[in-house]
Amino acid sequence: MKKPFCSTVVLVVALCAALPVAADEGMWMPQQIPDLAPRLAELGFTGDAKMWADLTGFPMNAVISLGGCSASFISPDGLIATNHHCVQGSLQYNSTPEKNLIVDGYLARTREEELSNGPGSRVWVTVAVNEVTDAITGKIGPKLTDRQRFEIIERRIKERTAACEKDGLRCRVASFFEGLRYFEIAQMEINDVRLVYAPPQGIGNFGGEADNWQWPRHTGDFSFYRAYVGKDGKPASYAKENVPYKPKHFLKVSPKGASPGELIFVAGYPGRTQRHETYAEVKERTDWALPRYVRRNREMIALLEETTKGHKDLEIKAEPRMRGLSNGMKKNEGVLAGLLKGGILALKEQKQKALETWIAAEPSRAKEYGDVLPALAAMQAESEATRERDAVLGGMYSGSTLLSTANTLYRLSLEAPKKDLDRDPAFQERNWSRTKEGLVRMQRTYDDRLDRPMLRYALLEAALLPASQRIAPLDTLVGFAPGMAKDEVQKKADAFLDAFYSGTKLAGQEFRLGLFGKSTKEIVDTNDTAVQLAVALYPLTEANRERDKATDGKLSRVRPRYMRALLAQGGGLVAPDANSTLRVTFGRVMGVDPRDGLRYLPQTTLQGVVEKATGEGEFNAPARQLEAIKALRAGKKTPYLDPKLGDVPVDFMSDVDTTGGNSGSAVLNSQGELVGLLFDGTLETVASDFLFDTQKTRSIQVDTRNLLWTWDAVEGAKNLLEEVGIK
């Protein structure tokens, strides 16, 4: 039985009252937006707020996910708008040292010239969201063990997912409000996605890491895909005879962009926020997880720079990882600064103390919630006992593609003989095609010369683990021991790696694909060294998974009660933490005073490109762009000029609430027209993932006038202008 949405998220007396929210905080579920109609009216919205809740209507049906990035349909022929940094995998896949699309960009002037993104590329269109809380967590016996509780919830999720996945749909059951509510999300999955246009690096990543997370920005962070389907209109694997997908709805690209003070909406798929974490959880991130992340990223970036220097082919293969490492490092440096110097951690502590006081003030509340925070604190302490070992172990799999591939094939062989509902979710039959696609795509991305330094880095980390947290199988295989001298550690690691890479055939596509679907005995009998390492590490990783399942079962009892306490204490309408599901946020185009004596204006123009361009490195604007700007200055007319600025706008700033995963999100005006693409935030307020800064949080968007001007004046892409209705 479905419940009215508002009653599921507002656990207070005035269940459906739309109370104002501070500084427009909130990555809202679309279904929540109608309850915010009074607040939208205050901001000048005169339309029907229900337009944002209808996932099958305009404009929400045009907003899609690329898996890690957001995007939107902008033409009746399936043209997709997203960020330049979201298409790096496609550019890398199609690049060679002789034709480096990452640097040079790419424009298909005909449909026949559009490039396949390769196996594994996907577009997801959300078509339905239904609450299934009772079906997932209802009627679970209180006497069951934590492990048994986990099993029941996981099995119910798998059963719901299987029942939902019909007629080409891809379904997911997602937890909201810390497991207090569950929603089933149905998406159409399109798996033939092709590259249409990506600007040169000097436009799409102008300013590079120097400008990343900064303002002012002058980046043309936009690129375009096209979705293709079979001639029957249904999703199909890549084939030349496939035809462009005809979306039910698509966004009109506004040639007017966005102006200061204007109300805008951002629709996309934000990744993760942690605003409902406890103080102990945030403190652990501040004290250990984030500093470790920043340090490792910095060291791995240096290692990759050294490895790829002078090798154009390696630079191409390493580019997506390098860009991801750099982006994550800089963001988390900002998060740490915000948590510590910005006082966010101290505010989190104050908020938790206030919650404790509120619980203790009423006997009924003390009875219902009094044990929640102590229980969560105890579980947090338990998780920290082996965190060094577990993090290093995870880093080995994420660092080495060979080890990760061997582990995937070995685990698949263990799971395949089971009934599908009994398999680990990652290894259910619904995911087999994706696994196989990954084995094929690896041929374009893998290189021993990149894999080895990353695995060596992880081995040296493992060698430094304290005696109480050793990875015993690795010590045995490599010959490590606690307290071993550095030169001896390196000598043993290098000897192990020599044998490891000379004894594996997984770098060969034919061999990899030949192991897909083989029995455990057949895989082990290959005596492949990558497989041997995966088999040796499996007991420890499996023990960790079993421990985590029991922990998740315990959390499923405690965290929903914690969330009930937070909602009851705060009252009003509350947005759940981001979890990579479709969300809507709104705000205004506006600047900010980030620090004493400093003011950020809300818009940048082409003049800033000219001022920053140096002709080299991260500020190497392409000659054709500078020539087009010169022609504009000489009086060449353009419909994209902003009369108030006297120039073409490049980027703009707004106070919308966004996070990672929102990259490529559609920025819409009140009529649902596309006025920009969101691509970044400011370093001063990235800690808002943990506690929203109501005064200074800002997001950064590229103005549609910039992308239309680039198509017109820089690229001469008349085919694209005509397709989106611009004459």
Active site residues: 85, 221, 663
Q: How far apart are CA 410 and CA 723, in angstroms?
A: 48
CA 712 vs CA 127, 621, 706, 720, 725: distances in Å? 34, 17, 10, 9, 13
Instruction: Give phi and psi for 517, each to the nearest 5.
Output: 85, 0
* Element (DSSP H or E) covering residue 717: none
Q: Enumerate residues 6+ apart whose C-beta is below 8 A from 357.
A: none
CB count within 10 Å of CB 112 equals 7
CA 112 vs CA 108, 192, 196, 199, 240: distances in Å? 8, 14, 10, 19, 9
Instruction: Give phi and psi for 630, each to the nearest 5.
Output: -60, -40
Q: On the CB side of 670, how many CA atoms lie within 13 Å of its CA? A: 16
Query: Side chain identity at 169, as an amino acid letter?
Result: L
Instruction: Give me the count of residues in the chain.
Output: 727
- Write the DSSP assignment of 599-645 as a string of letters: EE-SEEEHHHHHHH--SSGGG---HHHHHHHHHHHTT---TT-BTTT
Whether the CA torsion 286, 292, 295, 296 is positive or negative: it is: negative
Contact 114/326 with Cβ under 8 angstroms?
Answer: no
| Look-up of token digits 């938790």 | 352
DSSP 711: I
What spatial distance separates the first Cα and last Cα of the chain, rounded to whole Å? 51
DSSP 581: S
Q: How far apart are CA 34 and CA 52, in angstroms?
A: 8
Question: Rg of the chain's alpha carbons, rounded to an integer?
Answer: 26
- Name the residue among 660, 638, 572 with its Cα closest to residue 25: 572
Structure tokens at 451: 């894999």
Q: Name the E strands within 199-292.
A: 223-229, 243-244, 263-268
- Write the DSSP assignment of 449-507 as a string of letters: HHHHHHHHHHHHHHHTS-GGG--HHHIIIII--TT--HHHHHHHHHHHHHHHHHS--TT
CA 248 vs CA 56, 76, 233, 241: distances in Å? 8, 8, 12, 22
Q: How far apart are CA 540 and CA 473, in angstroms?
A: 8
Contact 396/451 with Cβ under 8 angstroms?
Answer: no
Query: Side chain identity at 311, as an amino acid letter?
Result: H
Beta bridge pairs of residue 647: 642
Give yes or no for a cis peptide into 59 (omega within 30° of 0).
Answer: yes
Structure tokens at 79: 């043209």
Distance of CA 629 to the CA centre of its chain: 34
